Chains A and B, each alone.
Chain A
Amino acid sequence: MLGNITKTVQLAAVLFAGPAFADEIWVSNEKDDTVSVIDIETMTVSRTIEVGERPRGITFSKDHKVVYVCASDSDAVQVIDPQTGEILHDLPSGEDPEQFVLHPDNRRLYIANEDDAITTVVDTQTRRVIEQIDVGVEPEGMAVSPDGKIAITTSETTNMAHWIDTQTEKLFANTLVDQRPRHAEFTHDGSELWVSAEIGGTITVFDVATQSEKTKIGFEVKGVHPDRVQPVGFEMTKDGRYVFVALGPSNHIAVVDQKTYEVIDYLLVGRRVWHMAFNGDESLLFTTNGVSGDVTVIDVAKMEPVKTIKVGRFPWGAAFRPTP
């Protein structure tokens, strides 16, 4: 009898919680050990999912059937069913996984192991470690080229972008950037690699074919000391027009022209803005604001913030999930 009631309650809970019928933004809350799921239609948090300790990197499989979360202090990458929020299993990740990137083959996960100066390559199907690659001190930023041939790890204390040949899983180039690189992204056409340097206050743009530096972009926020203008996470629009750059404790997002490398605008968001994710058609951008514990929604066409959504403590990563 009691069992039946429990079951009914559980069923009700499941029905109430989902399945979702709207696009979602998933946000990892570093200091709450949870993921907040934002319903893009209503712009509210529709679910909060408990995950491992200190969740940071978050990304969906290419088919959006599972979501991967770096549970840094649990030393695991957790694989979660986005429909139910259930943790399906852990992947071996090496120690202290912070960030990762999923290869276009939808199989290999390249993981930065911050405490060990290693990049771990994991096969998400066999759940085995394929390779561990020695990189610089405190690896963090991870990227993979659109054709899947190159993976990148940036190391915060070594101040480099390490270029990995994904055929051999070996380094083929190491290029210096400014102090404390945090994030790396390839342009959608694969011709350029952009790397942000938090303490250096710059983004270095590399020509991918030659791994040589093309240009360096600086930032200046009115009324904020240059030392506190710290580029961290950034995202590029698919149309090749804009790059949105989180400037950390300056509480601003810079909008950069992808072609001319000029900063077009600065948008005020929450405190210590960290990472971000677009919705499906890139009309909206969701930024994670670590210190204020919220997400700012930016209208991309108008280039202005339109809403703030409260999430957990120290929101870190963000990832888009389309309506299933």
Chain B
Amino acid sequence: MRRTGRALLAAMTGLMALLVLGHGASRAEGEMSILVGYLERHVPPPPVLSNLEETPDDLGLAGARLAIKDNATTGRFLNQSWTLSPSIVAPQNDFLQAARDLLDRTPYLVVKAPREDLLALADMPEARTAILVNASLPDNDLRGEACRPNLLHTIPSRAMLADALAQFATKKRWTDWVLISSKSEADMALADSFERAAAKFRLKLRERLSWSFEADMRRNAAAEVPLFLQDAPDHDMLVIADEAHDYGRYVLYNTWLPRPIGGSEGVVPSAWSASVEQHGAAQLQSRFADLTGRDMRSVDYAAWAAIRAVGEAVTRSQSAEGETVRAYMLSDEFELAGFKGRPLTFRRWNGQLRQPIPLTHPRALVAMAPLEGFLHRRNELDTLGLDQAESGCDAFEKER
């Protein structure tokens, strides 16, 4: 009924009408045109000790661009056209107004924003029936008590990453851990996740150390780090929580005991890394590099997966209506081939994209979690992160 009304109106008032009622999808003569918004709050990256790496300006957006291209190539054969509408909001500008402007035109929004912005957006009345996809924040509670039924996540939670490392350590029998973290909120949260993972997989956390050096480690890591670790209890693996990649790099090869390192340095669990090449991943890597001239990172991958997921749902459900698409994304029918060797699906209880977690070092893949032998009655991928019983998210159930 609604659709018929729209078609009539469109016929009467032509192009202008299409712009007005658009809402992410317009149908004219069997053609579907789908608009996806990419909404980012620009945040200057935090200062770090090393000057070697820069965060790419188009982190996330580049992944979204590639996915729209992929969707459009597929769409050619299905009478679909796909458009990306990026909106990057400067620190001083109104994030929610930018969100409103996009939501006027589409229910599909890929979001890269700090927590406060993201939650404010999810709670806006205008966003109630939207499909917001978080492509950057790993906060566990966004998949737990703070979850929102209109908010999906394609970036893995910290719990998923930590569980991946714990499975790997279990497999290697590196059962005794010492954990280092800075005092930043993010690193404390990541360290909490490692602690939780250690308990979940029955590893021993021998000590949790706090990194509090003010000095410039580029000059004196060799002297300071061994002293810092000298009194720590013996361990099999040293785990580093350093999300900003600030101090962790100076710990490598400067430890008191010769022990393998994992976490934010050493063997690193992530959504994506330049050293992932199996399962056709090399093709995604090369398409991304052709488009951007750089390596694909986790946030790029999450933005890519978000838009590809919407693309699959639109194609398979043969609808561009937000509600139908969301229902399809959360259904048993949905699956996405994400170059990680298994179909990716959404957890129906908290909207998290189930996905294997590669454990890599800069030159190669070391392992892909879930590792063999970690079983789950529903899906082995649910051995990673918050399972249904423990998530504490009931918003998805309630609205059913």
Contacts and interface: CB of A to CB of B under 8 A. Distances in A.
**Chains A and B form a bound pair:** yes
A94 interface: no
Contacts of A200: 335, 337, 343
B94 to A, nearest CB: 37
28 contacts: A114-B283, A115-B283, A115-B287, A136-B73, A137-B70, A138-B283, A155-B74, A156-B283, A158-B77, A160-B74, A162-B77, A174-B77, A174-B78, A176-B316, A178-B335, A179-B335, A179-B336, A179-B337, A199-B335, A199-B342, A199-B343, A200-B335, A200-B337, A201-B343, A227-B341, A227-B343, A227-B380, A228-B341
Q: Is the interface of A mostly helix, strand, loop or mixed?
A: loop
Interface string A247-262: 0010000000000000
Interface in A199-257: 199-201, 225, 227-228, 249
A198 B343 CA distance: 9
Contacts of A176: 315-316
Given A179-B336, A199-B337, A200-B335, A117 B73 contact: yes
Interface in B280-309: 280, 283, 286-287, 290
Nearest to A176: B315
B64 to A, nearest CB: 16
A126 to B, nearest CB: 30
B76 interface: yes
Interface string B63-101: 000000010011011100000000000000000000000
Contacts of A115: 283, 286-287, 290
Given A180-B337, A227-B342, 9 more contacts: A134-B76, A156-B280, A159-B315, A162-B77, A179-B337, A199-B343, A227-B379, A228-B342, A249-B341
B343 A136 contact: no
A257 to B, nearest CB: 26
A138 B279 CA distance: 13
Interface string A152-171: 00011111101000000001
A291 B316 CA distance: 33
Given A114-B283, A179-B337, A227-B380, A159 B343 contact: no
Interface residues of A, number: 28
A114 B287 CA distance: 10
A158 B291 CA distance: 18
B301 to A, nearest CB: 14
Nearest to A175: B77
A55 to B, nearest CB: 16
A152 B332 CA distance: 29
Interface string B377-395: 0011000000000000000
Contacts of A160: 74, 77
A157 B16 CA distance: 34
Interface string A128-154: 000000101110000000000000000
Contacts of B312: 159
Most chain B CB within 10 A, of A114, A136, A199, A227, is at A199
A29 to B, nearest CB: 17
A178 B337 CA distance: 10
| Chain B interface size range | 20 to 34
A179 B70 contact: no
Nearest to A114: B283
B73 A137 contact: yes
A137 B78 CA distance: 14
B310 to A, nearest CB: 14
B74 A158 contact: yes
B74 A157 contact: yes
A158 to B, nearest CB: 4
Nearest to B343: A199
The 10 closest A-B pairs by CB, nearest first: A174-B77, A158-B74, A179-B337, A199-B337, A227-B342, A180-B337, A137-B73, A199-B343, A137-B70, A179-B335
A92 to B, nearest CB: 20
Nearest to B78: A174
A191 to B, nearest CB: 24
Contacts of A137: 70, 73-74
Contacts of A134: 76
Nearest to A225: B380
A136 B74 contact: yes
A305 B186 CA distance: 54
Interface string B255-292: 00000000000000000000000001001001100100
Nearest to A182: B280
B73 A158 contact: yes
Contact of B77 (A136, A157, A198, A225): A136
A316 B286 CA distance: 21
A249 B78 CA distance: 32
B58 to A, nearest CB: 21
Contacts of B342: 199, 227-228
Contacts of B283: 114-115, 138, 156
Contacts of A136: 73-74, 77
Contact of B337 (A157, A174, A225, A228): A157
Contacts of B337: 156-157, 159, 179-180, 198-200
Contacts of A179: 335-337, 343
Interface in B196-238: none
Contacts of B315: 159, 176
A159 B290 CA distance: 22
A204 to B, nearest CB: 14
Nearest to B280: A156
A138 B286 CA distance: 11
